[in-house]
Chain A
Amino acid sequence: MTVRLEDTSGSAVAAAIAAERHRMGSPATGMVLTLLILTDEEYQADATAAAVSAARQHPMRIVTLIPRPSKHEARLDAEIAVGGDDGPGEVAVLRLRGQLAEHANSVAIPLLLSDTPVVAFWPEGAPLLPEDDPIGRHAQRRITDSASAEDVDRALADRAAGYRPGDSDLAWTRLTPWRSVLASALDQPNATITAASVAAEEGNASSVLLASWLHRRLKVPVTRSTSAGPGITEVRLTTEAGDIAVSRTDGVTAILSRPGVPDSRVALPRRDLAELLAEDLRRLDPDEVYGDVIGHLV
């Protein structure tokens, strides 16, 4: 059940969540973290829904902060939902009106669960220095999504410039299945790799990170090319014995080809936001590999 609170405060919202828990007869909670989502009206519904779904794997308190700057008086409106059919989490969607839009931090503080990790998530746009953002400062993990930017090259350059350990980006998370298949393909000894290439649809942030990762790991020239998509369509590793290639044209199933071995099929579906968030929340320590890759974009 959703409870609406109008013209309220951060601590009143926290009290309302606790009251709702008691009313449902389950005051003890097994929440493992607090997720702060900073977003606008356009993205809030999808981002909150994805977080609620990810809460099945990581029971958490989700606080969606929506700044609505205007000349009117400062005012906080909240919708809260606890437990229920959608998952075990707690959700507070907060609209920060007027001047309050500049002070999201003051609303968030009383809502942080005690002694458990805090994660900040910007579904679109992101501060230049997430770690130094008033909201980001609470979080040991700060998640951005370069793919949501109009100009992804610019967004990635910003991520690189503002990177601090603890930052991560969903454009990187999206690559895990690709990287896993490529790594498995090289589990057996193979001929020396001399070059690599990545093909993806135009403006695909993940493909830039993938090319950079291959460059960092393989120490060979890596080229990028544009294809019709969807997403990344092919990675090709040139070896002295022939090419090792993973190609996926339908966004679902890839074909793995290796020299001397018949092609095999690999399920490589694109994942939704909930799955990406769930993966990112699995580990909350700094992702050092991402840090290395974002610092060396090709």
Chain B
Amino acid sequence: MADTHDVYTNPLRDPLDQRLPRVAGPCGIALSGVTGDLSRKKVMPALYDLANRGLLPPGFGLTGFARRDWADQDFAQIVHDSVREHARTPFREEVWRQLAEGIRFVAGDLADPEAYQRLKAVVAELDASRGTGGNHAFYLSIPPGLFPVVLEHLKSSGLAENEPGSWRRVVIEKPFGHDLTSARELNRIVDQVFDASSVFRIDHYLGKETVQNILAVRFANTMYEPLWNANYVDNVQITMAEDIGIGGRAGYYDGIGAARDVIQNHLLQLLALTAMEEPLSFAADDVRAEKEKVLRAVKLPRELGKHTSRGQYANGWQGGVPVVGYLEEQGIDPHSTTETYAAIRVDIENRRWAGVPFYLRTGKRLGRRVTEVAVVFKRAPHLPFAKTAVEELSNNAFVFRIQPDEGITVRFGSKVPNTSTVQVRDVTMDFQYGESFVDSSPEAYERLILDVLLGDPPLFPRHEEVELGWQVLDPVLDYWAANGAPEQYASGGWGPASSYDMIARDGRTWRRP
């Protein structure tokens, strides 16, 4: 329906129509770094799953870009294999055929200007043959060192320029720099080529249903928010533990380490979502405003040596399997001082959180794979029971489990049945997210890629947030760099001795996640 105004509204869409899914408009994605783990295990399967759920536009285009001597079919075969192996939803021939029709491949070196001309020709061909309408996202699944050259070529080839009424977007993966200076430099380069609203930084943790659920639980209910402050909360522990070592990522990991890899982005984002004030609305700008505000209030302790901990995993046994230490891993400098475990205490200087420490920890080769945010409450000011009755009672806790088993756990005291005297003991109540709503939550990448294609940014960190993260972390990194090698810790446990010491100094203990 032609409109007398300039704004076109689709007559078949109606805000009341809750059954119709939000489907991306005509568009395509150009993927560089097609042979990487991330592309094969996450991005390609997520595209198929989106198609399977009917959320990709008819005529969607997927272009691979790599230094391989491949034809379109060879790349399609790679995508096919990755979908077969890693997709979340069942494989259906008709969905695959729909996706496969739009698959293209451009052979070329990322540093070769001519390759970008070929990419440009393919993009134009997709517009003509598939109706992608000039809307293209460039997904850079490449080492950060290549960003400058790729962005430069995207600019000089004209690929970054959109016609009026269409869009060009760029998707970049972490790490967003390795300190504040490099992050600013990267942001400067990106901003020269794309405007801020066209840059999508993927932090896949933010696409997890549970992370969004933190906001829903906090701001849609009445039960929790009154307790969510220094009057009732004793401390908050945010943990991301992995049971694996660095695997094949030696080249990426050495020199980066646990704090840069995880704390700077994932854990500080989780902290922001847990601690922020209520946003005016769920619109991207409002949520970010609150996240930035709370990140600005984050302060490090003065004596970093007493309130931080770092370690390297030593050889040992994990879950019944012998494993090598970090310094013995293939491709790692035997004198490396890169940490594989990092824990820091931070405080938030505002009225809500004054005096409540936030402990952030992450590590590899720990007891099990788990990510969670645990809000640990103060003990009741008075317990009208015999001392023996409450010996087994500890602090109440509210836990957002982010992976695996996404859900919520509440720990509280309850009477042990059939004891002659009253006996109170910790019990837990579980809400399993997957079980109650969908049998498998849409993978984070599906959600994020769809948001990129829809141009919907609330789940993506803006460069201010990235820089604030570095601002918090840089002094810790400097302190560590000046203080020798990290402590060794046994694989399969929960980190180095200094991590227990740092929290014991505050009169607290780590939760076993």
Where the two chains meet, the residues of A that have a C-beta atom closer than 8 Å to any C-beta of B are: 28, 30, 32, 56-59, 88, 173, 176-177, 179-189, 191-193, 214, 217-219, 252-253, 256, 258, 261-262, 264-267, 269, 279, 283, 285, 287-289
- A168 and chain B: residue at smallest CB distance: B19
Contact (Cβ within 8 A) B1 A261: no
- B99 and chain A: residue at smallest CB distance: A267
Quick one: which of A56, A186, A285 contacts B439, CB cutoff 8 A?
A: A56
Instruction: Enumerate 22 A-B pairs (CB-CB under 8 Å) in ascending A order.
Output: A28-B429, A30-B431, A30-B435, A32-B437, A57-B439, A58-B437, A179-B12, A183-B10, A183-B13, A183-B23, A184-B58, A189-B8, A191-B2, A192-B1, A192-B2, A262-B130, A264-B59, A265-B94, A267-B98, A269-B94, A288-B16, A289-B19
Contact (Cβ within 8 A) B19 A176: yes
A192 neighbours in B (Cβ, 8 Å):
1-2
9 new A-B contacts, CB < 8 A, other than A188-B26, A264-B131, A265-B94, are A30-B432, A56-B439, A57-B437, A180-B20, A218-B12, A256-B59, A262-B128, A264-B130, A283-B19
Closest 10 CB pairs of A and B: A261-B131, A264-B59, A183-B12, A189-B8, A267-B94, A267-B95, A56-B439, A266-B58, A264-B58, A253-B94
A88 neighbours in B (Cβ, 8 Å):
435
Quick one: which of A32, A184, A253 contacts B97, CB cutoff 8 A?
A: A253
Quick one: which of A261, A266, A279 contacts B98, CB cutoff 8 A?
A: A266
Contact (Cβ within 8 A) B57 A289: no
**Count of A-B residue pairs with CB < 8 Å:** 119
CA distance A108 to B13 in the complex (A): 39
Known: A261-B131, A267-B95. A218 touches B11 (CB 8 A): yes
Contact (Cβ within 8 A) B16 A289: yes
CA distance A249 to B131 in the complex (A): 23
Known: A185-B58, A187-B25, A192-B2. A289 touches B436 (CB 8 A): no
- A191 and chain B: residue at smallest CB distance: B2
Quick one: which of B51, B98, B130, B438 contacts A253, CB cutoff 8 A?
A: B98
> Within the complex, what minimum Cβ distance (angstroms) separates B136 from chain A?
15
> Which residues of B118-141 are within 8 A (CB) of A?
128-131, 133
Known: A192-B2, A287-B19. A59 touches B11 (CB 8 A): no
B51 neighbours in A (Cβ, 8 Å):
267
> Within the complex, what minimum Cβ distance (angstroms) separates A163 from chain B?
16
CA distance A59 to B279 in the complex (A): 32
Is B54 located at the chain interface by the 8 A CB criterion? yes
Contact (Cβ within 8 A) A252 B20: no
CA distance A158 to B17 in the complex (A): 23
Is B112 located at the chain interface by the 8 A CB criterion? no
A256 neighbours in B (Cβ, 8 Å):
58-59
B16 neighbours in A (Cβ, 8 Å):
288-289
Is B507 located at the chain interface by the 8 A CB criterion? no
A179 neighbours in B (Cβ, 8 Å):
12, 17, 19-20
Quick one: which of A219, A264, A279 contacts B19, CB cutoff 8 A?
A: A279
B130 neighbours in A (Cβ, 8 Å):
261-262, 264
Contact (Cβ within 8 A) B58 A59: no
- A285 and chain B: residue at smallest CB distance: B18
Quick one: which of A28, A182, A188, A262 contacts B12, CB cutoff 8 A?
A: A182
> Within the complex, what minimum Cβ distance (angstroms) separates B437 from chain A?
8
Is B512 located at the chain interface by the 8 A CB criterion? no
With an 8 Å Cβ cutoff, the count of chain B residues facing the other chain is 44
A176 neighbours in B (Cβ, 8 Å):
19-20
Contact (Cβ within 8 A) B59 A193: no
B285 neighbours in A (Cβ, 8 Å):
none
Contact (Cβ within 8 A) B436 A265: no
CA distance A183 to B20 in the complex (A): 8
> Within the complex, what minimum Cβ distance (angstroms) separates B382 from chain A?
30
Contact (Cβ within 8 A) A269 B54: no
Interface string of B417-432 (1 = CB under 8 A from A): 0000000000001111
A218 neighbours in B (Cβ, 8 Å):
1, 11-12
B19 neighbours in A (Cβ, 8 Å):
173, 176, 179, 279, 283, 287, 289
Is B320 located at the chain interface by the 8 A CB criterion? no
CA distance A32 to B430 in the complex (A): 14
Contact (Cβ within 8 A) B101 A265: yes
Contact (Cβ within 8 A) B133 A217: no
Quick one: which of A28, A185, A287 contacts B18, CB cutoff 8 A?
A: A287
B129 neighbours in A (Cβ, 8 Å):
262
Is B478 located at the chain interface by the 8 A CB criterion? no
> Within the complex, what minimum Cβ distance (angstroms) separates B296 from chain A?
39
Known: A30-B431, A192-B1, A279-B19. A180 touches B439 (CB 8 A): no
Known: A180-B54, A279-B19. A269 touches B12 (CB 8 A): no
A289 neighbours in B (Cβ, 8 Å):
14, 16-19
CA distance A179 to B275 in the complex (A): 41
Contact (Cβ within 8 A) A57 B94: no
Interface string of B76-95 (1 = CB under 8 A from A): 00000000000000001011
Quick one: which of B17, B57, B98, B435 contacts A265, CB cutoff 8 A?
A: B98
Contact (Cβ within 8 A) A59 B435: yes
CA distance A288 to B58 in the complex (A): 27
CA distance A120 to B13 in the complex (A): 29
Most chain A CB neighbours (cut-off 10 Å) among B25, B52, B58, B98 = B58
Is B21 located at the chain interface by the 8 A CB criterion? yes
Quick one: which of B11, B94, B438 contacts A252, CB cutoff 8 A?
A: B94
Quick one: which of B25, B128, B439 contacts A188, CB cutoff 8 A?
A: B25
B52 neighbours in A (Cβ, 8 Å):
267
> Which residues of B164-207 are within 8 A (CB) of A?
none
> Within the complex, what minimum Cβ distance (angstroms) separates B209 from chain A?
14
Contact (Cβ within 8 A) A184 B57: yes
Contact (Cβ within 8 A) A184 B23: yes
CA distance A205 to B377 in the complex (A): 57
CA distance A59 to B430 in the complex (A): 15
Contact (Cβ within 8 A) B25 A184: yes
A183 neighbours in B (Cβ, 8 Å):
10, 12-13, 20, 23
